[in-house]
């Protein structure tokens, strides 16, 4: 563990990572190092589901470390950006399901971090935004790419160009978050969802993620062919036989 990112077992195959860099979880080098450390641990354990949350009620994460950015030259700015992008992309590419359990605000890099997760569970008082234009910048950790995929081009431009904060109910309505719960209950709801997902077939879940991503990356006809390849692979080399057998025998499947 690190000073600002800690983790604990929540259930079989479920790891909960908690960010705690006061006052607002600015995504400076300490949290970047902590995120990489928890991903190292998840790989070592073979974690199925990672729940990412914050110990600070008012902040999931307030974004990039502006104080740090204000002290660096162009070369160091590039290096810092590369480190932050590396951690965010590593989370997005991890061979597990990740759930951002968001309370408070998720702004700038904080929202980019949440969008890199597989799913987002939001407390009712949470707010979301990409306010980088106020600094004369744009989102730099794939925010300009992930947000349109989630909410569409027009809404993404509205959110980024106005730098406004999107309330949780609107975020749910436009697809920015997947589940909306009462304020203060995001962590528990994220853990409940994680418990459900952790009991499912890991190869099948991974295939769901790959094929859904392919729907954005490939032409429709190629995506359909890729889907066929994936389901055949699951039947021949995955856990489909166990799932089918368990269904026919009216028992719970025994997935690895």
Q: To the nearest 10°, report the CA torsion of 243, 247, 251, 254.
A: 0
* Spatial separation of the C-alpha atoms in residues 5 and 28, rounded to whole Å: 12
* Pairwise CA distance, residues 60 & 102, whole Å: 6
Residue 244 neighbours by CB distance under 10 Å: 12
Tell me how far the alpha carbon of residue 85 is from its chain's centroid.
13
Burial class (CB in 10 A: 0-12, 13-18, 19+), 154: exposed
Q: Is 43 a catalytic residue?
A: no
Q: Is 168 a catalytic residue?
A: no
Kindly list the distances between the CA atom of residue 97 and the CA atoms of 25, 56, 59, 72, 234, in Å, as whole numbers in the listed order. 22, 23, 23, 35, 18
**Residue 194 annotated among the catalytic residues of the structure:** no
**Is residue 108 annotated as a catalytic residue, yes or no?**
no
- Active-site residue among 13, 28, 34, 109? 109
Instruction: Please answer whether residues 159 and 166 qualify as being in contact, where contact means their C-beta atoms are separated by less than 8 angstroms.
Output: yes
Catalytic residue, candidates 28, 100, 101, 132: 132
Radius of gyration of the chain (CA): 19
| Given 112, 123, 143, 168, the catalytic residue | 112
Residues, the chain, total? Answer: 256
Token pair 């009991």: residue: 199
What are the residue ranges of helices labelled H in 56-163? 66-69, 74-93, 109-116, 143-151, 153-162
Query: In this structure, are residues 31 and 24 in contact, taking their beta carbons and an 8 Å threshold?
Result: no
Q: Which residues are catalytic?
A: 64, 109, 112, 132
């Amino acid at each position: 563990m690190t000073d600002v990112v800690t983790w604990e077992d929540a259930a079989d195959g479920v790891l909960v990572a908690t960010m705690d860099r006061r006052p607002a979880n600015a995504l400076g080098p300490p949290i970047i190092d902590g995120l990489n450390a928890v991903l190292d641990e998840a790989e070592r354990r073979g974690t199925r589901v990672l729940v990412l949350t914050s110990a600070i009620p008012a902040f999931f994460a307030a974004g990039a470390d502006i104080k740090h950015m204000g002290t660096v030259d162009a070369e160091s700015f590039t290096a810092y950006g590369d480190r932050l992008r590396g951690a965010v992309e590593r989370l997005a590419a991890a061979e597990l399901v990740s759930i951002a359990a968001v309370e408070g605000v998720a702004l700038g890099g904080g929202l980019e971090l949440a969008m890199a997760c597989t799913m987002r569970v939001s407390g009712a008082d949470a707010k979301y935004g990409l306010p980088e234009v106020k600094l004369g910048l744009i989102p730099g950790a794939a925010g300009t790419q992930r947000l349109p995929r989630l909410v569409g081009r027009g809404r993404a431009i509205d959110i980024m160009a106005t730098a406004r904060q999107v309330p949780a109910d609107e975020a749910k309505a436009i697809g920015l978050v997947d589940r909306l719960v009462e304020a203060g209950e995001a962590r528990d709801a994220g853990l409940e969802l994680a418990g459900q997902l952790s009991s499912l077939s890991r190869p099948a879940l991974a295939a769901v993620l790959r094929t859904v991503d392919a729907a954005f990356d490939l032409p429709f006809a190629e995506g359909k062919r890729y889907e066929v390849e994936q389901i055949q692979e699951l039947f021949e080399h995955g856990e489909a036989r166990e799932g089918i057998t368990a269904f026919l025998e009216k028992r719970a499947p025994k997935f690895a």
